[in-house]
Structure 1
Amino acid sequence: MKLAVLALSLLACGSAFAQAAATAPEPDYTASVNIGAVTDYRYRGISQSRLQPALQGGADFAHKSGFYIGTWASSIKWVKDAGGNADAEVDLYGGYKFNGGPVAFDVGALRYLYPSSQLAVSPNTTELYVSGTYGPATLKYSHAITNLFGFADSKNSYYVDLNATFDTGYWGLTVTPHIGYQGIKNNSGFSYTDWSVALGKDFGNGFSASLAYVDTNNSNYRSPDGKDLGRATAVLGVKYTYSF
């Protein structure tokens, strides 16, 4: 009889703990830092690192209200190739996420900085963006309110892209197809479409890796030695993220 009472008591305690865990309050904020490396830093399909490896890292802070801010940086080579003097790209961004029925929206602003760039037309760029996610798919529109990445008279350039993430059901792998279009105001010869498909793997404890096939339909982006910076390639990436 005593054993039965003890067993019932343990079951009741276990149920209470489970309910408490299920109704645990949402944290007021989440914060994380990350560091990683890629075999080629491709942004919107174009190599920023002259088809060579790059080091990257960032930090993010998000409040439960939906507001967030963050920063991210990468080593680059394209500014020096264009005659400037910047070795790094530093991004600053902030926005607000909210739900509208079945669609998750994200609106915000992103500032790309290239310290000590010294180009005739500053590559520093500010974009406003809005995205909507429904199920596995996300559609995003980005609009430049400054010149875009050093292109003269390119204010009001834009980028629109569609992404989706699917669980393959094998070894914890995800697959992410992507297609995007970069329209560059008054520089139509440099407008282009890019596409990619990536496999991702989360190894746990903050470690993750990805392997992507990336390509574009524009061969006008060239390195000083004539290499096509938008050509098809495979990009391997590794990252470690620490959450507070």
Structure 2
Amino acid sequence: MKKMVLVAAVLAMSGSAFAADMPLKAVKAPPPAPFDPWDIAFGSAVMSDYIFRGVTQSNHNPSVAAYFEPRYNVTKDLQLYIGTSVESISFANRAAAEVDVYGGIRPTFGAFAFDFGVWGYLYPGGNCADNFLTGGFPGGNVCPVSTSTIFLANGNVMKKDVSFVEVYGKANYTINDNWQFGVNEYYSPNFLNSGAWGDYASITGKYTAPSTTFGTSGVGMYVSAEVGRQWLGTSDAFYGVVSALGNFARGIPYASYDTWNIGIGFTYKVFTLDLRYSDSDLSKGNCNAFTSAFNASGTTNVTSINPAGAGSNWCGAAGIVKLSADLTAMTNLK
């Protein structure tokens, strides 16, 4: 009798063991979600002023922009991309648009995100204009000295084509959900097709407020800032000047300058409202020599590279209000 009880107990235990095993054998891990490496980022913006490294590109007037960027994610930590963007501008050669074409690679290592690439700035629609012969700016298509020259009433000249290319590298470090910092480096062997090399370096910082700052409204907030320096070389002879202050017939040594901006932004779904202050330490005279501003005026802003003394406010303090929408196909179009 005792033997039968013992056998029954063993069988019961065996049955329990098998019963415990059954669910483990029957439940299969769900297959991994399919990985779609392709994505597209796109968006548009309207802004009260288009500021590029402390210098207005739109004569301190409103500007609109749009971009389109296909992306290929080799892995979750490595992305390849190409893109194009368009911004409305107001240049001295009367180019009305900036068309950017760019591409690069974005590797990520933990909290570090990098971005390396090439950026082409194209300015189609540049004109030749001779204010003196035609009696009024922008004048006709008459260029007595060079078919790539524009002559302005204030004495400035600008090439018809100021397109150029830069190579760049960026690094961003995310400390936590609230803080991140970055460094940027851009180099061009022929900045604005002026003959002068250009090198821009900056550091950035951004604080993102907790998602609960505005309760459950879905509104986010951030504060960000950038401090940078634009180094510039010597132009070609096209922009050369000769005066009692110096003989720069072979080209003018552009003044390098510091620039900075700080702003606060508010986000809601795909929209961002950014309010920003931008400035630089470039003087009005050296700003005029650098930008060839069509509305530069006066005779008191004399520098060695700006002997006529016309001054431009294109490099001074500016406030910018920008409303943008940014989307990705994988996130917003599913």
Partner of 2:192: 149
Judge conservation of contact 1:54–1:74 (CA < 8 Å) in 2.
yes
- Correspondent of 1:103 among 89, 112, 122: 112
Judge conservation of contact 2:113–2:172 (CA < 8 Å) in 1.
yes
| Aligned residue type for 2:277 | Y
Q: Unaligned 5+ residue runs, structure 1?
A: 1-15
SS in 1 for 2:58: coil
Partner of 1:194: 259
Partner of 1:5: none
Q: How does 1:14-163 map to 2 (within 5 A)?
A: 24-65=33-74, 66-78=79-91, 81=92, 84-100=93-109, 102-118=111-127, 119-120=148-149, 121=159, 122-135=161-174, 136-145=180-189, 147-151=190-194, 153-155=195-197, 157-163=198-204
Quote how far apart the aligned CAs of 1:60 are. 1.2
Quote how far apart the aligned CAs of 1:180 are. 0.8
Quote how far apart the aligned CAs of 1:144 are. 0.5
Q: Unaligned 5+ residue runs, structure 2?
A: 1-26, 128-147, 150-158, 175-179, 215-219, 235-251, 297-311, 330-334
| Aligned residue type for 1:184 | L
**Structure having the larger proportion of residues in strand:** 1
CA shift in 2, pair 1:85/1:231, >3 Å: closer
In 2, Cα distance between equivalents of 1:134 and 1:33: 24
Once superposed, which parts of structure 1, at least 4 consecutive aligned residues long, lie more than 6 Å away?
none
In 1, Cα distance between equivalents of 2:186 and 2:328: 28
Please, which moves more after superposition, 169-178 or 222-231?
222-231
- Correspondent of 1:215 among 266, 279, 286: 279
Larger Rg: 2
Judge conservation of contact 1:90–1:114 (CA < 8 Å) in 2.
yes
| Aligned residue type for 1:194 | T
- Correspondent of 1:184 among 215, 220, 232: 232
Quote how far apart the aligned CAs of 1:35 are. 1.5
Quote how far apart the aligned CAs of 1:117 are. 2.1
| Aligned residue type for 1:154 | A
Partner of 2:205: 164
| Aligned residue type for 1:167 | T
Q: Over aligned residue pairs, what C-alpha RMSD do you find?
A: 2.3
Quote how far apart the aligned CAs of 1:189 are. 3.6
TM-score, normalised to structure 2, is 0.60
Judge conservation of contact 1:26–1:64 (CA < 8 Å) in 2.
no
Aligned length: 218
Q: Deviations 1:64-110 (Å, cap 9, x if unpaired)?
A: 121011111111002xx2xx231100001100011346422211000
| Aligned residue type for 2:181 | A
In 1, Cα distance between equivalents of 2:253 and 2:184: 21
Partner of 2:141: none
